[in-house]
Structures are given as C-alpha cells and as structure tokens.
A and B are shown apart, each in its own frame.
Chain A
Amino acid sequence: MSNTIKVLLLKYGIPSLAVIVIAVQFFFVNTQSLNKWKGGGYGMYTGIHYYYNQIYIPGMSVDSLIANNNEMERVFKHLKLMPNDDNLMSAAEFVVKTTHKDSIHIQIWKPSVNSKNGVYSRALVNEIYFKKTSL
C-alpha cells in the first residue's frame, strides 16, 4: 500500500466509520421505527425521550406485568425504543404466553405537545390485535 493511501486511510478511516454508523441509524429510523435518541446518529434531545411513550393493553396493567418480570420489562423497553410491527408481534406473543390469554390488543402511544396552547395529548404510534391461534 502506498504511503499516501495509508495516510489517507489513517486520517479519514475512523471518521468514515462514524459516517457509516450515522447512515445506518438513519436507515433504521426510517425503516424500522428506531427512536432517534439511539443508534449513534446523534439525534438525542431532538424530541421527547421514548421512555415517555406509553404501552397500553386494554384490560391489563403494564406495571403489574413488568413487576418482578425482567424479561417482560426488557421486551417492553425494546418495544418503546423500536415500535415496529415485528417488535409488537414479539411483545404480543410474549404477553400471551406469560398471561395464558387467548388474544391481546397492544398499543403504543407517544406524547404530543403544542407549545402554542400548551395542550399535551397522546398520539397512537402503532398497535396490534393478536390471537393465540396465529402462533
């Protein structure tokens, strides 16, 4: 390898890696519903943190489901981070398996704020109706 190419690689190799990571994050945000706060794209503080997204399961308490169940907590955290169809399906399967229910309806809501009138409401991000027979 010639010296010029070696120097160029050393100078711009690591910054190029940073660009690739950012490009991958943009891809995940736009195709997999990844939240902008994560994935190395430096999108922190551009919107309300995904921690404040709400998982709503009619007829069930999410707090009770995650109490003393680390795996459930992990599944829900991942769902809030990336609320796409695949993760909703995995979460629904896991909840049905744990609670021995036949069907379940899971929704993800995100906070919506209007600084002009101060109104805080919730907007539906994604939802799934899941039946055990589809397992």
Chain B
Amino acid sequence: MSTMLLQALADGVFTGAIIALGAIGVSFTLQIMRFANFAHSEFLTWGAYLTLALVTVFGIGEPLGILTFGWGLLIAAALAAVLTGLAAWGLDRLVFARLRRSGAQPLVLVFAAFGAALVMRHIVVLIWGHDSYFYSRELQMAMLVPPGIRIMPDQVFILALAFAVMIVLHLFLTYSRTGIAMRAMAESPGLAQACGVRVESVVRTTWVICGGLAALAGVFTGLTPQLHPEIGFNLLLALFAAAIFGGAGSLPGAVIGGLMVGIAENLFLLVVPPGYKPAMPFVLLLAVLLFRPDGLFGEKR
C-alpha cells in the first residue's frame, strides 16, 4: 500500500512540475493583465502541436541516452516556445488590448478569452484531427527505484528541465531590469509608469514569457505520453487551481501550487474511480476560492 502511495507521490511531482510551468503564466496574467485568461490552456496545446509540426519536418534527432528523443525535439520545443509566445502577444494585440482600450470590464475579457480558446483549440483539430500523436516511436523502459517506484527516464529529464526553466525565470525576475519592472507593474501599474516603465513593453514581455512557458508545459505533456487537441483544455482547471492557490503574481506560489495540485490529483486517484479524475483540480480550486482566494503568497489587490 505504501508503495502505491509513494508512486502516486512521484507521479504527482512529475505532473505537478508541468502544471507549475503552465500555472506561472496564468498567475502573471492574472496579476499584471488583471483578468483570468481562459485561452492560456490553448497556449499549451499550440506549443505541443507546433513542436510536433517542426519535429515532423526535421525529426526528433538521435535519442539521447535512455530518453525517447534527441536534440531535434529540444530545439523544436524552444522554437515552438518562442512562436507561441509571439502568438500569445499577437492574441493580446488583436483582442484583449483592444477591449482594454475601449474600457471593457474584466469579465468581457474572460469571455473573449473563452471564444479565443475555442478558436485556437479547433484550429488544431482542423489541422490534425482528434487522433492522438506521439513525438517518438521509441519505447522506453521504466526504471525501478527503491522501494519499488516506477519512473520513466523522460519524466526525470522533464522534471529537471522544468526546474531549470523556473530557476532561470526567478533569476530574471529578481535581477534583471525588465524582470523587476514586471514585478513592479504587477503590484502597481500607475506607480511603475511614474518611474518611467513603459506599459506596452512590459505587457509584451509578459505575454511572450507566459506563452513560452505554456508551450514548454504543452510539449512536456505531449511527451508523457501523447498529444491530442484537449491536452491544454484538460489542464485548464488545474492551472487555475495552482495559480490561485499559490497567489496571483507569485512565482514560488505557482510552483508550489502546481506541485500540490499534481500530488493531490494523483493521491485522489487512489481512492476514486478514474472517471472522476478531472474533478480533482476543480474540487481543489473551489476549496481555494472559498477559503483562501488570495492564495499562499498572493498580494491583496
């Protein structure tokens, strides 16, 4: 029994790291752009499928060691992250920025985000259909780690890469001029402006970073183990649960939130029939909204 528990924990950490990557974007959009971006989940899907497209053309490269993929996938993922980041910014310019300029309430933005998400998701369906895809045809053997947990090498690599990305982001936000400006804007756009921070600039950087992170999360989801058009949508509630739990605008919060949601989901699976698995993030989300809407590290707006 305890092995099952440990396995659930391990699986939870792996999924949690991916959720954390996606949740960071939701968290910052919530705090800096001040609305719940329901299209964020589709940045994951687009990131995954853009990578698929690139990999279909250029190949995934020779598998690195016991991983199922090679440099081809990593480079494709990086490229896809940039492209998705730009697409996210493009979406803002086309839709959200326009609505903000005409004075729309945040709810209208949420609404427009729903609509945009629909369009984005079904563009993927239009091109690739509903079938599942795999990045790699390589089979992978699970490693057996004492006391009896099964771990895929791909999972370990993804976990390491995800944390590396988070650390880089943290350094960026703490030490770079743009990063500090982003955090300043997250707290008070008016005061940041009075310091000479250009709002449009920060907005652009925010979208590109959030979109890029989401794309990476999408690729990692697609790796473990497959892609289909709903991979982003299926994580939507988990992303929001993690972001709100950790507190909007907080990087450590989103990371902890993501891990918590991932672990909770997998523990939940031990006691509940698999058909109800998608309900877990929602239950957690509801609990957070009701009891601690400011989250762990969030600042009251």
Asked whether A and B interact, the reply is: no
The chain A residues found within 8 Å of chain B, CB to CB, are: none
